[in-house]
Structure 1
Amino acid sequence: MAQVRNKKIVLKDYVYGFPKESDMLLVTSDTINLKLTEDSNAVLVKNLYLSCDPYMRGRMSNTQGSYIDSITLGSPIEGLGVAKVIDSGHSKFKKGDLVWGMTRWEEYTIIKAPDQSIFKIEDTDVPLSYYTGILGMPGMTAYVGFYEICAPKNGECVFVSAASGAVGQFAKLSGCYVVGSAGSKEKVDLLKNKFGYDEAFNYKEEQDLDAALKRYFPDGIDIYFENVGGKMLEAVLSNMRFNGRIAACGMISQYNLEQGEGVCNLMHIVTKSLCMQGFIVRNYFHMLPKYLEMVMPLIKQGKISYIEDVAEGLESAPAALIGLFSGKNVGKQVVVVARD
């Protein structure tokens, strides 16, 4: 039976405040068999691409609440990725299948409940790494938050904080006016010139976020895709229109604070009859076929643009993840473990 030494990134210490590379360690484990036991119902995969996502910060702490359990100290970081099936004891998967879903930051992973955590990749006419982003969880998040929760109408005004590509492009395809905020000139230029946003601004250069939003939305905001929280949310609430909708996807400004910031003007939710709904995308994965049916032709026809920030090698994963929280990545942050 073939055996290999399995390299992995493990969580060394729980994180308080801003994470550091030293909170994670690259280790080489004892040997792992590349053949499952006869009675196994698991799937053994070789990890190809790993996704770095802001929600992972919550799992690195054992104090702040998260919708997923904390990572166990000394265990591999868990996250989404693309992998190739090396061996399978599960009827739904076979050797050679390509899959995406929840895996671990290591070269090889045994997935014990594959029918609950990974999805078979049926269309390989696009780069496999896209299933860490636009064709995977982040893309689904944009789809659910924008279409299912915000229900856009032609001509509405949309604001996206910590903007990247998908939400704004969906908004333009729906006939909306869309503005995004980002943390660098390079990202602002991408939003306007690559992703087709009507306007974009660098929030770090704005002394008054409320005034900035009034400049771009003189008649107010109909839809806000919330990624930031804190002072940005406070400014947005002041600029929402009557019956506006807010899809709360995340609040990245709060993830590394030991004491979260309060929002002082929540009364706008009442006086403007706003609908603000948080959501966890995994509760909507039953809609994945519907989403792929919509977005795959748009990608192949060049109607959706997509950019990746690629880090090479498992050892680069800690720095890549930490870079998310200072805005170092330009595009979807992906780590290449192996290309096949």
Structure 2
Amino acid sequence: MDSSTPIQLVNWDLAASSAAKLAPPGPKLSPGEVAAVVENLRELADLSVEHVHRITGLEAARDLRDSDLVIVDRASWAKANTQSFKVLMAPAIEHLMRTKAEQLKAANAALGGSITGAQMGAILAFLASKVLGQYDPFGPSGQGKGGRLMLVAPNIVSVERELNVVPADFRLWVCLHEQTHRVQFAAAPWLKDHMLEHISELTVGLAGKADTLAERLSGALKSLPNRGQQDKEKHDDDGVPSSDGGILSLLQEPEDKARLSHLTAVMSLLEGHANVVMDAVDSSIVPTVKTIRRRFNARGKTRGPVEKFIRRLMGLDAKMRQYSDGAKFVRAVVDAVGMEGFNHVWERAENLPTEKEIHAPQEWVARMGL
């Protein structure tokens, strides 16, 4: 192979096309119905910003022109995420190219990134039918330095039909959660780079241990069926509650564990805060909100064994616990010092809670001097 041949560890184009082909079809809608859903989602997304501003008190909600709002299908969502993964994985790939150039050249000659691209596509195909919306701070935006908010129309329609809830109410409820994420990053413009830095450190750290990755991955897969009750809380040596985070949680050295702990705390904060906002509306805003929440929470009980295994493998159940843990933190802080006091969290990186503080909100309140 010519030494000038570029090394491509992941074929991102193949990942996007594989995800589009493998993702199950969405609900059947006529072109007119699709247009109506898209228009309605845009209207409700705009409407939800006013409620986010009223509930959070964050002035950033008044002007979100630094980011995009896009209504997407499953294939478009998958393609968008390959672009974001490419950004997130770039530091780790660059590290491998510097430290293991000869091995990578040989691997590239044989596989050309096709296997990893196909694997990434399979993961995104599974997720593409599950995600209702996503604020992606790392994706390109046509409006400036901000990211993009994606609402996955076929999935929203699919779930509202599955739950048999009022479409307009459910769509506004979803928009409240997703627009809150958009407002969070607008209120804390430093947060994107902060997260990118820590994600890069984590992926580079894992890439540095690539020689043993296959062995540890095999061990992780074998251990999944016998890792105890999914909903049983565990604690590490520092007293920090820890949950099954899927394969990633098994691939950590001590320094990796610390990095992941910080990112877990940040994600718990973001998801919990968004859940608090979406549940802060009453029946005057979303008339059937109680019915939606009850039926939405019950969805997990109807998942089949294969989906449950895949979700556990990918750490999606751990993500759901982040919603709950983060929401408890936000509610406890707001009860103690009000929303204005809680909003100190968006001022600087030092104000972000630790994973321990997520489970002990009073410690964060004390550290902030509130």
TM-score (norm 2): 0.25
TM-score (norm 1): 0.26
Higher strand share: 1
